[in-house]
Structure 1
Amino acid sequence: MLSLLNQYSRGRVAWFLLFLSTFIFEITALYFQHGLGLAPCTLCIYQRCAIYGIMLGSLIGLIAPSKLIFRLAGILVWLFSAIKGFNLAMFHAHLQFEPNLGDTCAINVQFPSWLALNEWLPSMFNAYGSCADKIWSFLTIEMSQWMIIIFACYLLVSLVILFSQLFSPNKKSIWSK
């Protein structure tokens, strides 16, 4: 099984599917913001950036998936972004379901000066909602809880794919070049 996953990670199809999943989540987030008029909070914007990080990892892996350095770089960017996103989603859910007077989120997003996304693309990266508001739910699960599930899946899969790199790939597979 792990040899098969190693083989999948050496092909572009798996990396493209990772890219496609992040692209769909980003399009969905933009639809929620602009189509449905749901105001994103700072934690929503930071989680969106974590999804972009996973997307970046997929693009790194797409460059040359047969080369170990590109695979590992892509997996590590993916893993780091999934961990950051998971932690942000957990904190977001904590603010919504276990409010504490000491726990708050910033009113404005704070990006480094060399990456001022909120100034370059304000329609995508400016926050004008409250982190404590529960503005959307599906199947009785709030958006912050869905983000925990999404990032947990990305995190789990990235760990399995990273671990699979220790095993030699299958020699013959439909996923190879």
Structure 2
Amino acid sequence: MKHLISFSQTRLAWLILTLTALALEGCALFFQHVMHLDPCVMCIYQRLAMFGLLAAGLIGLINPRSRLLRALGVVVWGVSASWGLKIAIELVEIEHNPSPFATCSFLPDFPSWMPLHEWFPSVFMPTGMCGEIQWTFMGVSMAEWMVVVFIGFLAAFALFFQASISKTIEK
């Protein structure tokens, strides 16, 4: 646990989180703009959750030794990964149990003061339909892979959270 505590206070730890989220955002944009796979509104929400993970990494990178910034980064990390997992699970459910009554909207429900789909349509405008499986790898859909990805982020979050608590208890 001592090694994890000291690792959580390094720029490398937060850089790994930042670069992982950035790489996955890059993959999403590659799938959309190069492979021409249309993201649905739930894909866009997962993309936003990934941006939250990217923000968490950047917060931790500012000063990983600062307890306040580390705590803020960990909270943003946990909220983003949890929300992303929730959305990914809902999308998998729609894929496996299609129903005309279980559909998603055509436009994201962003606050009126932050219409990301209007400001950055090439990133946040959904053009696909929920439940339509456009891509698989090893027989697993993209939504199912995103469940795995967000579980991985939550597992790493749990380790960092535990390290934060252990550090507090030791003092």
Q: TM-score, normalised by structure 1?
A: 0.92
Match of 1:11 in 2: 10
Q: CA deviation at 1:122?
A: 0.6
Q: Does 1:112 align with 2:111?
A: yes
Match of 2:84 in 1: 85
Q: C-alpha offsets along residues 146-177 of structure 1, whole Å, 9 cap, x if unaligned?
A: 000000000111011101112349xxxxxxxx
* SS of residue in 2 equivalent to 1:59: helix
Q: CA deviation at 1:52?
A: 0.2
CA distance in 1, matches of 2:101, 2:117: 26
Q: CA deviation at 1:100?
A: 3.5
Q: C-alpha offsets along residues 73-111 of structure 1, whole Å, 9 cap, x if unaligned?
A: 000100000000000000000000022443221111121
Q: TM-score, normalised by structure 2?
A: 0.95
Point out where structure 1 has 5 or more consecutive residues left out of the alignment: 170-177
Q: Percent identity?
A: 35
Q: Which amino acid aligns with 1:112?
A: P
Q: CA deviation at 1:128?
A: 1.1
CA distance in 2, matches of 1:9, 1:56: 16
Alignment map for 1:15-164 (pairs within 5 Å):
15-164=14-163
CA distance in 2, matches of 1:20, 1:61: 13
CA distance in 2, matches of 1:168, 1:34: 44
Point out where structure 2 has 5 or more consecutive residues left out of the alignment: none
Q: C-alpha offsets along residues 3-47 of structure 1, whole Å, 9 cap, x if unaligned?
A: 211111101011001100000000100000000000000000000
CA distance in 1, matches of 2:8, 2:21: 17
CA distance in 1, matches of 2:100, 2:129: 15
Q: Which amino acid aligns with 1:115?
A: M
Q: Which amino acid aligns with 2:166?
A: F
- Give structure 1 regions of 4+ aligned residues with deviation exceeding 3 angstroms: none
Match of 1:167 in 2: 166
CA distance in 2, matches of 1:111, 1:97: 27
**CA RMSD between the two structures:** 1.2
Q: Which has the higher contact order (CA 8 A, sep 6+)?
A: 1
CA distance in 2, matches of 1:165, 1:124: 34
CA distance in 1, matches of 2:6, 2:121: 41
